[in-house]
């Protein structure tokens, strides 16, 4: 259920709206793969300090990312029914205030980075570059969802580096699985804005794949499961993990069948949010697989 903020001052309510505080699905989709990496890298015994750092960092970086996105897209957002009331698009919050909030978020995130080892710290600037570049990818690339996936997947690389002090084959398998997953769920998300995106010239995988959205989602999730399965196999994880992966495939199969017909924006939003539950189930499977 959405969180109500009627009891706090209007400026703070607008900031909460700006960073999508009432809706943390995006934070979960960024955070869960980093937790996969921490659990797999530690064979089911992750450092609680690292769990806290990456959970907090996911919230901070997702919040910073949506500010960058809304600042870059504020004129385009006015042309889209779903986004025209966002604080920057509607003019209810100034760009200066948004950038002040952004700087605070990035300063706190930088403080968290100082708690990590040298390799993770060295990798961190790439995450910021990817977050800043994604809004512009939507203007240039026919598959901007892949850029979002790389941005989210980079958290996996940083988490593995923080847990092990090195990068191994499993790192890149989890990274690839995260990229493929992001293409799947963000393609579903983009279905909400198909008509508006075509009119405004924004590119998306939903436009690119057209009537074959269902096939793109099926292939992307298939690649995700292959990558995650291989990463688990290399780490010697138990059979319960593969059972959860199979169940997740079955669940997404229901979504794929739905996507073969007409999908309303409301239905697309619901299916998108369901992927946070899928990611949570996979996280539990990583843990249970090492019991």
Asked whether the predicted pLDDT for residue 7 surpasses 80, the reply is no
Check whether 48 has a pLDDT greater than 50.
Answer: yes
pLDDT reported for residue 79: 84
Residue 1, domain member (yes or no): no
Q: What pLDDT is recorded for position 8?
A: 54
Span 44-55, average pLDDT: 97
CATH number where 186 lies: 1.10.357.140
Number of domains the chain contains: 1
Classify residue 290 by its DSSP letter: T
Say yes or no to pLDDT of 2 above 50.
no
Which pair of structure tokens corresponds to residue 97?
A: 């205030």
Of 6-20, 64-78, 226-240, 263-277, least confident by mean pLDDT is: 6-20
In a domain, 4, yes or no: no
Domain membership of residue 91 as a residue range:
10-288
- Residue count (the chain): 291
Per residue in 213-224, pLDDT (tens digit) is 999 999 999 999
The answer as to whether 3 is a domain residue is no
Helix axes 95-113 and 10-18, enclosed angle (nearest 10): 60
Q: Is residue 128 part of a domain?
A: yes
90-136 pLDDT, tens digit each: 999 999 999 999 999 999 999 999 999 999 999 999 988 988 888 88
pLDDT tens-digit series, residues 223-266: 999 999 999 999 999 999 999 999 999 999 999 999 999 999 99
Q: Note whether residue 5 is domain-resident.
A: no
Mean pLDDT of the region 150-166:
96
Dihedral angle computed from the Cα positions of residues 136, 140, 141 and 147, in that order, rounded to the nearest 10 degrees:
-10
pLDDT of 5 higher than 50: no
């Amino acid at each position: 259920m959405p969180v109500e903020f009627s009891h706090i001052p209007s400026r703070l309510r607008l900031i909460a709206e700006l960073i999508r505080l009432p809706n943390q699905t995006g934070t979960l989709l960024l955070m869960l793969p980093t937790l996969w990496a921490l659990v797999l890298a530690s064979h089911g015994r992750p450092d609680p300090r690292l769990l806290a750092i990456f959970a907090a960092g996911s919230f901070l970086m997702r919040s910073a990312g949506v500010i960058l996105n809304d600042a870059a897209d504020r004129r385009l957002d006015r042309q889209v029914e779903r986004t025209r009331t966002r604080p920057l698009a509607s003019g209810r919050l100034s760009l200066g205030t948004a950038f002040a909030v952004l700087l605070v978020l990035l300063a706190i995130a930088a403080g968290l980075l100082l708690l990590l080892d040298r390799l993770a710290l060295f990798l961190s600037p790439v995450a910021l570059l990817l977050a800043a570049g994604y809004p512009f990818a939507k203007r240039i690339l026919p598959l901007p969802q892949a850029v979002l996936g790389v941005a989210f997947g980079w958290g996996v690389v940083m988490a593995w580096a923080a847990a092990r002090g090195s990068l191994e084959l499993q790192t890149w398998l989890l990274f690839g699985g995260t990229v493929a997953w992001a293409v799947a769920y963000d393609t579903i998300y983009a279905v909400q804005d198909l008509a508006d995106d075509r009119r405004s010239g924004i590119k998306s995988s939903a436009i690119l794949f057209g009537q074959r959205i269902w096939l793109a989602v099926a292939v992307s999730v298939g690649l995700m499961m292959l990558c995650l399965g291989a990463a688990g196999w290399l780490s010697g994880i138990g059979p319960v993990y593969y059972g959860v992966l199979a169940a997740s495939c079955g669940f997404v199969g229901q979504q794929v069948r739905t996507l073969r017909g007409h999908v309303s924006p409301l239905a697309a939003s619901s299916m998108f949010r369901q992927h946070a539950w899928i990611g949570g189930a996979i996280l539990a499977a990583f843990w249970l697989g090492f019991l």
